[in-house]
Structure 1
Amino acid sequence: MKTLLTGLLAGTMALAALPSAFAADALTLQLKWVTQAQFAGYLVAKEKGFYDEEDIDLTILPGGPNIAPEQVIAGGGADIIVTWMAAGLAARDTGVPLVNIAQPFKRSGLMMICPKENNINTVADFPGHTLGVWFFGNEYPFFAWMNKEGIKTDGSPEGVTVLQQSFDIQPMIQGQADCISVMTYNEYGQALDAGYGPDNLTIFNYTEMGNDLLEDGLYVMEDTLDDPAKVDAYTRFVRASMKGWQYALDNPEEAAQIVVDSDETGAATLEHQLYMVGEVSKLVDANDAALDMTTYDRTVKALLDQQIIKAEPEGAYTTVVTDALK
């Protein structure tokens, strides 16, 4: 009897250990900004159970004006971050070994808009004016553009004055800046709601001008790529994320509602998130998570030209994850 009880006890303990033995891989994703449809693919994938299907236990952390994803992951607060490549490469250049593992966003959503009453119709009209620019890593495309055009950004008469812009269109409405930065999927929608549009705005689209630098990509710390189990977890994460992006783009109304429901602050509205999903769909390729090398090279060159990074980056991206998805 004692032998039987001992065997039963051992079996019970073995069964109790099974959940931990086969537990899903826990990963934390730090978003670049607040909960909104810019990140619909990840929010949808979590809500629809796509990460669960890949044995990924994902925690999604919203960003904000005082949160730098590069600092969060460097401090161990996240496994993966969403950030713009210019910010990622700049961080790598200063000692944070970030590596791009996937690039769902293939095109830039960045624009600069100027009310036509300010008499700014071409880039040549910029000198002497104040231009609104976001910082926290978002300023690099603007300075690369000005460097390319040979326009100083020091506030001199032959240059422009740079206003550190809030993340809305108020600097334009209040007359603090002659032109402001907007994203096609966010602040431009706010401008449309305020009565602005192509008829009364001069619009400078970074992509159309050939000045687009890579935006929302997925980045991890370099040393984690030495662990095959971690690489496998990243691969499953990206696979589920791309499935989430495809579902979001195919079902914009449901995706927008998922975003609203995921926003714990209550700030997201269904109408605006639906607009955002529609605009983001023009930038994301849900069928291809691979990094486009032409745009990568352009991004690197722009950062080198303005000396934001000091040397050609080595090891700043890997194809090991996206190759495994093929």
Structure 2
Amino acid sequence: MKNIITGLVAGALALSTASGALAADALTLQLKWVTQAQFAGYLVAEAKGFYDEEDLDVTILAGGPNIAPEQVIAGGGADIIVTWMAAGMAARESGVPLVNIAQPYKRSGLMMICPTETGITSEADFPGHTLGVWFFGNEYPFFAWMNKLGLATDGSEGGVTVLQQSFDVQPMIQGQADCISVMTYNEYGQALDAGYGPDNLTIFNYTEMGNDLLEDGLYVMEDTLDDPAKVDAYTRFVRASMKGWAYALDNPEEAAEIVVEADDTGAAEYDHQFYMVNEVTKLVDPDDAALDMATYERTVQALLDQGIITQTPEGAYTTVVTDGL
């Protein structure tokens, strides 16, 4: 009889364990770019078990130059994506019903830098010059800025020539472009390493100019928000992610190590990831995942003015997730 009871207890425990394992909600997150400290909050949340604490089984997919998060989620390859709002809005208007559920990045990290030898010291000096810009959804803030200045971007007289630049500072170093796009937390660090800095660069900071459009936000497909269980999983995901961001920004050395460890390609180097974490600190508010409506409305208006979207979007964001944190 004792053996039977023991067996029953063991079986009950096994069922309980199995039930607990099955209870974890599986979510796949598609990053906008390769594994780097730009996404430290998510990588730290996974490494420190913050997603586990929220009963989530999260898979984080690295991005890259040939990966469009909007296409991945449209094809069912992800539940949540990190992308810039301009790309998300453009995708929504083209038939991919993306909805912003949270906005950890409050400020833009985008800048344009021009070596002083180009003679460019203000926006008035741009005509006749070649400006480097990333594409794949990263070009929208630049074109909105040029539209605001009234500058043609087709190389015609009085306008500028646009170079589709690589994701590094080589186009500037090699003289392919007079100015290039950089992120404060990434390529600008490469420029500093190459001997450039405020003393020999003219720096146009999108945020300081009032041209900042919302960058790394969290987006899901609209129809999934009809499922209360999915909304609950999203809420737990955002809560754990913000905990990851808070930990990363308080512990930049460990966060950089976690990023390097998470990078399967071996390309991530500790010194650069440490630099990135410290720069990202200036852009992310770990205590507030909510979308700032003033910046949202400015982003939408800039996209409308430039013709990136043709009508004011309806239902492009929701507060149901951040209201539940």
Q: Structure 1 length normalisation: TM-score?
A: 0.96
Give, in angstroms, the shift of residue 308 of structure 1.
0.8
Give, in angstroms, the shift of residue 283 of structure 1.
0.1
2:19 is matched with which residue? 21
Distance 1:285 1:10 in 2: 50
Give, in angstroms, the shift of residue 163 of structure 1.
0.4
Distance 2:18 2:32 in 1: 31
Distance 1:315 1:282 in 2: 29
1:183 is matched with which residue? 183
Task: List structure 1 segments (4+ residues) > 4 angstroms apart after TM superposition.
Answer: 7-17
Distance 1:324 1:273 in 2: 32
Distance 1:18 1:29 in 2: 28
2:192 is matched with which residue? 192
Equivalenced residues, count = 322
Structure 2 unaligned spans of 5+: none
1:49-108 Cα shifts (integer Å, max 9, x gaps): 000000010000000000000000000000000000000000000000000000000000
CA RMSD for the aligned pairs? Answer: 1.6
Give, in angstroms, the shift of residue 306 of structure 1.
1.0
1:131 is matched with which residue? 131
Distance 2:6 2:96 in 1: 52
Give, in angstroms, the shift of residue 211 of structure 1.
0.1
Please state whether the residue corresponding to 1:113 is helix, strand or coil: strand
Give, in angstroms, the shift of residue 157 of structure 1.
1.8
1:158 is matched with which residue? 158
Distance 1:14 1:320 in 2: 38
Distance 2:45 2:7 in 1: 40
Structure 1 unaligned spans of 5+: none
Please state whether the residue corresponding to 1:258 is helix, strand or coil: helix
Distance 1:160 1:12 in 2: 73
Please state whether the residue corresponding to 1:181 is helix, strand or coil: strand
Distance 2:100 2:73 in 1: 13
1:225 is matched with which residue? 225
2:280 is matched with which residue? 280
Distance 1:15 1:247 in 2: 34
Distance 2:169 2:10 in 1: 62
Distance 1:9 1:257 in 2: 45
1:36 is matched with which residue? 36
**Could you tell me which amino acid in structure 1 is paired with residue 215 of structure 2?**
E
1:205 is matched with which residue? 205
Distance 1:196 1:12 in 2: 66
Answer yes or no: is 1:47 the counterpart of 2:47: yes
Please state whether the residue corresponding to 1:171 is helix, strand or coil: helix
Please state whether the residue corresponding to 1:264 is helix, strand or coil: coil
- Percent of residue pairs bearing the same amino acid type: 82
